């Protein structure tokens, strides 16, 4: 069932769990994710990132995403991840994504607010949920420089101003995770997470979930984070069991699929994801 994230996030907040948001880059990754969600009877967010436009066009992602999500027996959100330009995000709304992220986190707070407002005005009449990001979740490769990373953490003040001006549906915050593989061990600022969630009544979202530590992620899920993005770990797990001897295309594909299943199964458990009925 293709759904918006709004109702799911309310339930996730009440029941203290997070929903994995898994990036698909082709039809096979999408099918592998949905197979796990259906087996476990759990809700899932399947995301397509603007950065993967070379792997798959937005139109293809919308067609495949809607087709498989509608067929699924469990609630599935079709989400645009890191939409960095306003027109691209609007196209995703037109194509039937049920949730979109406008990422203007590299802009000034004022510009970020303005772009987010523009997307909200465009998306809300169609019931499409909007995610924005403040602070900046950088790349894990640069993680050794902890001081520099901390300067990019979301402040309570910015989160408050941003939410009051936009009334965005969900907010990605920077509290110590990073995208991709880590050069060091992530330190999550749980105090900042608590402060923001007490000050701002908006569902919070965590990017860069891969390899951030199961205990850390579990604690985030119990502490008002409703969506955790996972991509790198899924891709690493997919190729783990592929050997040079797997010379047959279908065998390789099945190996990739089972690697993805293992990883997503693991994270459903870590995130405490619970089954949801939406009618």
Which residues are known to be catalytic?
Answer: 81
How buried is 91 (Cβ within 10 angstroms: 0-12 exposed, 13-18 middle, 19+ buried)? middle
Q: Is residue 48 within 8 Å of 76, Cβ to Cβ?
A: no
Q: Is 52 in the site for Zn ion (CB under 5 A)?
A: no
Nearer Cβ to Zn ion (77/276): 77
Structure tokens at 190: 């749980």
Stretch that binds Zn ion, among 1-9, 56-64, 207-215, 261-269 (CB under 5 A): 207-215
Q: Is 242 exposed, middle or buried (0-12, 13-18, 19+ CB in 10 A)?
A: middle
Q: Which is nearer to Zn ion, 83 or 259 (CB)?
A: 83
Of 207, 221, 256, 276, the one binding Zn ion by CB under 5 A: 207
Name the segment binding Zn ion (CB under 5 A); options: 21-29, 150-158, 201-209, 271-279.
201-209
Query: Which single residue brings its beta carbon nearest to Zn ion?
Result: 207
Q: How far is the CB of 208 from Zn ion (least distance, A)?
A: 6
Query: Rounded to an integer, what distance in angstroms lies between the CA atom of residue 56 and that of residue 270?
Result: 30
Nearer to Zn ion, 4 or 23 (CB): 23
Least Å distance, CB 112 to Zn ion, is 15
Question: Which residue, 227 or 257, has its beta carbon nearer to Zn ion?
Answer: 227
- Residue placing its CB nearer to Zn ion in the complex, 207 or 227: 207
**By rule CB under 5 A, what count of residues binds Zn ion?**
1
Least distance (Å) between residue 1 CB and Zn ion: 25
CA-to-CA separations, 19 to 1, 90, 257, 271, in angstroms, rounded: 15, 24, 20, 7
**Residue 201 is encoded by which pair of tokens?**
């009544």
Dihedral sign for Cα atoms in the order 225, 230, 232, 233: positive
Helices 156-166 and 190-199 cross at an angle (nearest 10°) of 30
- Chain positions 69 to 88 lying near Zn ion, rule: CB under 5 A, are none
CB of 279 to Zn ion, least distance (A): 31
Q: Three-state SS for 204?
A: strand
Segment interacting with Zn ion, rule: CB under 5 A, options 30-38, 158-166, 200-208, 270-278: 200-208
Q: How many helices (H) and strands (E) does the chain have?
A: 11, 9
145: number of Cβ within 10 Å: 12
Q: How far is the CB of 248 from Zn ion (least distance, A)?
A: 35
Stretch that binds Zn ion, among 12-20, 25-33, 52-60, 203-211 (CB under 5 A): 203-211
Interface positions with Zn ion (CB under 5 A): 207
């Amino acid at each position: 069932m293709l759904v918006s994230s709004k109702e799911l996030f309310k339930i996730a907040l009440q029941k203290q769990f997070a929903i994995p948001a898994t990036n698909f880059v082709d039809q096979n990754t999408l099918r592998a994710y949905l197979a796990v969600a259906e087996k476990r009877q759990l809700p899932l967010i399947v995301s397509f990132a603007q950065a993967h436009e070379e792997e798959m066009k937005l139109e293809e992602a919308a067609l495949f995403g809607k087709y498989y999500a509608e067929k699924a027996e469990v609630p599935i959100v079709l989400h645009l991840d890191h939409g960095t330009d306003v027109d691209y995000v609007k196209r995703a709304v037109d194509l039937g994504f049920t949730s979109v992220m406008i990422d203007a986190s590299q802009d000034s707070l004022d510009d970020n607010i303005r772009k987010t407002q523009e997307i909200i005005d465009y998306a809300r009449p169609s019931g499409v949920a909007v995610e924005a990001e403040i602070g900046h979740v950088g790349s894990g490769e640069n993680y050794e420089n902890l001081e520099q990373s901390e300067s990019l953490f979301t402040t309570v003040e910015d989160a408050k101003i941003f939410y009051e001006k936009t009334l965005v549906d969900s907010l990605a915050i920077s509290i110590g995770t990073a995208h991709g593989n880590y050069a060091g061990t992530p330190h999550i600022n749980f105090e900042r997470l608590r402060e923001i969630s007490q000050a701002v009544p908006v569902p919070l979202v965590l990017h860069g979930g891969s390899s951030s530590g199961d205990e850390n992620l579990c604690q985030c899920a119990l502490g008002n984070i409703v969506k955790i993005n996972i991509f790198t770990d899924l891709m690493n797990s997919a190729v783990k069991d592929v050997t040079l001897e797997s010379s047959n295309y279908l065998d390789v594909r099945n190996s990739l699929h089972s690697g993805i299943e293992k990883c997503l199964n693991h994270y459903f458990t870590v995130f405490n994801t619970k089954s949801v009925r939406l009618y």
